[in-house]
Amino acid sequence: MAELAGIPWLHGLDANERAVAVDDLKVVSVATGELLCRVGRPATFWFGVIDGLLKMSNDTALGIPITFTGVPPGGWFGEGTVIKREAYRYNIQALRKSVVAGIGVETFHWLVDRSIPFNRFITQQLNERLGQFIAAREIDRMGDPDARVARGLAALFHPLLYPGVGSLLRITQQELGYLVGLSRQRVNEALQALQDQALIRIEYGGVRVLDLDGLRRHMQRVARGG
DNA sequence: TCATTAAATTGTT
DNA sequence: AACAATTTAATGA
């Protein structure tokens, strides 16, 4: 299976553990708009994106719809709820036709109980995502559209959380608009501004990052009001 | 492989 | 929201 190569945490496991994980691994194809997780449903799987793009949000719930983050290829999510054996606190929806992998809750705990590399992966995952949510709060409070787009892109290009992305992120400006909560034309405007600063290059159906550190500095600089 | 057509995406108003 | 221009994907010879 070529798909296994794109699953980052598999590499840290020993032969036995990997065999158990692969045996339990399920790979499904989801259509655009399809929901993988619903708020309130018990967590049964720990999911990862092989190909495509997902959106983590809490719409359909009462109150204002909030998009937490997008999940591009290489990203794994849901460990928080799986660890606590709770119900999902968000919806996961496919922004486009995607291929998603998952392992069951029991297998997840089995790995947590015996593999140190697996625990390291989970800890790092939680830590990096916490950093992203803190940055998101700061920037959304400021409300500068260019900064929101810069932040959204910097998050999706995170090499540890989303190793499958590389330097070219496959995302349309429409999809990016759904993720950061802006109109397509406003996203287009922001992208051109970022391109003018040589931080990214706009490509058909995607965005290439030229300077990830610069992108991060940009969103922080704007968030401070500079 | 190439040319033609349809569909998707982008840039602009 | 609507439009034109551009790029990609699909089709068939």
Residue A204 Cβ < 7 Å to strand B: yes
- In degrees, rounded to 5, the angle at the alpha carbon of residue A30 between the alpha carbons of residues A27 and A36 is 85
Identify the pLDDT of residue A220.
78
Return positions of chain C under 7 A from a protein CB.
1-2, 7-8
Question: How would residue A121 be classed by pLDDT, with cut points 50, 70 and 90?
Answer: very high
The answer to pTM > 0.85 is: yes
- Asked if strand B contacts A195 at the CB level, meaning under 7 A, the answer is no
Residue A75 (CA) to nucleotide B4 (C1'), in angstroms, measures 40
Residue A6 pLDDT grade (very low, low, confident, very high; cuts 50, 70, 90): confident
Residue A51 · residue A166 · CB < 8 Å: no
The tokens for A129 are 């995502």
A205 touches strand B (CB under 7 A): yes
Q: Which nucleotide is nearest to A205 (CA to C1')?
A: B9
Q: How far is the CA of A214 from the C1' of B2 (A)?
A: 43
Residue nearest to nucleotide B8 (CA to C1'): A205
Lowest mean pLDDT across A23-32, A83-92, A129-138, A213-222? A213-222
* Residue A5 confidence (pLDDT): 83
Q: What residues pair up with A29 in beta bridges, in sequence order? A: A99
CA of A183 to C1' of C2 (A): 15
State which protein residues have CB closer than 7 Å to strand C: A 185, 203-205
Residue A21 pLDDT level (bands cut at 50, 70, 90):
very high
Give residue-wise pLDDT tens across range A141-164: 877 999 999 999 999 999 999 999
A143-224 CATH choice from 3.40.1500.10, 2.30.40.10, 1.10.1240.10, 1.10.10.10: 1.10.10.10
The confidence score (pLDDT) of residue A77 equals 95
Instruction: Indicate yes or no: strand B within 7 A of the C-beta of A174.
Output: yes
Q: Please report, rounded to whole angstroms, the spatial distance between the CA atom of protein residue A93 and the C1' atom of nucleotide B8.
A: 21
- Which of strand B's nucleotides are less than 7 A from any protein C-beta? 8-13
Q: Is A173 helix (H, G, I), strand (E, B) or coil?
A: helix
Residue ranges of domains in chain A:
2-127, 143-224
Question: What's the CA A163/C1' B4 distance, rounded, in angstroms?
Answer: 39
pLDDT grade for A225, boundaries at 50, 70 and 90: low
Domains A2-127 and A143-224 fall in the same CATH topology: no
In this prediction, residues A69-82 reach a mean pLDDT of 95
Distance A106 CA to B1 C1' (A): 53
Interval A50-72: pLDDT, tens: 999 999 998 765 667 788 999 99
As a whole number, the mean pLDDT across chain A is 92
Residue A1 has pLDDT above 60, yes or no: no
d(CA A177, CA A199): 19
Nucleotide of closest approach to A184 (CA, C1')? B10
A145-156 helix and A116-142 helix, angle to the nearest 10 degrees: 170
Other CB atoms within a 10 A radius of the CB of residue A204 amount to 5
Percent of chain A at pLDDT > 90 equals 83
The CATH class for the domain spanning A2-127 reads mainly beta
Beta bridge partners of A57: A67, A91
Task: Kindly report, residue by residue over A22-51, the tens digit of the pLDDT.
Answer: 999 999 999 988 999 999 999 999 999 999
- The C-alpha atoms of residue A154 and residue A211 are separated, in whole angstroms, by 10
